[in-house]
Amino acid sequence: MIDILIAFSMVLGTILIYKLSSIIHTKFHFPFTLPIFISTLIIIILLVALDIPYETYMVGGDWISELLGPAVVALAYPLYKERQLLKKLVMPILIGTSFGAVVGITTGVILAKWAGFEHEILYTISSKSVTTPVSMAITDSLGGITPLAAVFVMIAGISGAVLSSYIFKYTKIHHYLGRGIGLGSASHAIGTATALENSEVEGSISSIAMIISAMVVSIITPWVISILL
């Protein structure tokens, strides 16, 4: 009975904080006010302040995480909606995202290897550019540390979203296709949310890039890793 009460209040609390964060983001429109960032920050501060362990929070949090699977299935919708555009741009999208996927896996793994980290960490860092559930699944199948994968994915998402405007400016990437693919390939859903703020086309390109990147990365990661290690 108490478990259900805890679970219920954690679910409700998370939804409320998410709503609050969305309001803050619409009012103060900065990259570092992204709802995923402030919501996580607020919840961690609250849990630490109230001395609630993560495991207790997850009694309810798991109910929300359970919906990650169907949420990824739902991404077929923007893909279907933009299928005409996708058809027209299929080559640049495929080449750009595949290239980004290879760069993401190799640079992450090689840099971490140079820094002297153990294999478990290398497996975990390899898929950090793709959306959380996919990255966690890849990490799990490789034998990495699944919750840490989510942490890397989040750092990739937030840093990419925050830095994108500077990166595009200095590398002269102005075309919606380049920007959308850059954001979707490097920063998955968080990048896509940022791209959607710039323009609808850029957002849809970014979601397509995120989806293709997730597929490419989940297929080639074991391969690339076996070549690198």
Judged by CB under 8 A, the chain residues 97 through 156 that form the site for other proteins are 97, 99-101, 103-104, 107-108, 111-112, 115, 117, 121, 125, 128-129, 132-134, 136-138, 141, 147-148, 150-152, 154-156
Kindly write out the interface string for residues 5-34 of this chain, putting x where it contacts other proteins by CB under 8 A and - elsewhere. Answer: ---------xx-xx----------------
Min CB(1)–other proteins separation in Å = 22
Could you say whether residue 86 binds other proteins (CB under 8 A)? no
Could you say whether residue 189 binds other proteins (CB under 8 A)? yes
Dist. CA 160–CA 163, nearest whole Å: 5
Could you say whether residue 182 binds other proteins (CB under 8 A)? yes
> How many residues interact with other proteins (rule CB under 8 A)?
101
Question: What secondary structure does DSSP assign to 148-181, as a single string?
Answer: HHHHHHHHHHHHHHHHHHHHHHHHT--SHHHHHH
- Please check whether residue 70 is in contact with residue 186, taking contact to mean a CB–CB distance below 8 angstroms: no
Could you say whether residue 227 binds other proteins (CB under 8 A)? no
Q: What angle do CA 228, 223, 192 make, to 5 degrees?
A: 100
SS3 labels along 4-48: HHHHHHHHHHHHHHHHHHHHHHHHCCCHHHCHHHHHHHHHHHHHH
Closest CB to other proteins among residues 31, 214? 214
Cα separations in angstroms, 125 against 40, 104, 109, 160, 176: 21, 9, 7, 16, 28
- Please check whether residue 92 is in contact with residue 85, taking contact to mean a CB–CB distance below 8 angstroms: no
Min CB(71)–other proteins separation in Å = 5
Min CB(196)–other proteins separation in Å = 10
Closest CB to other proteins among residues 15, 228? 15
Min CB(2)–other proteins separation in Å = 20
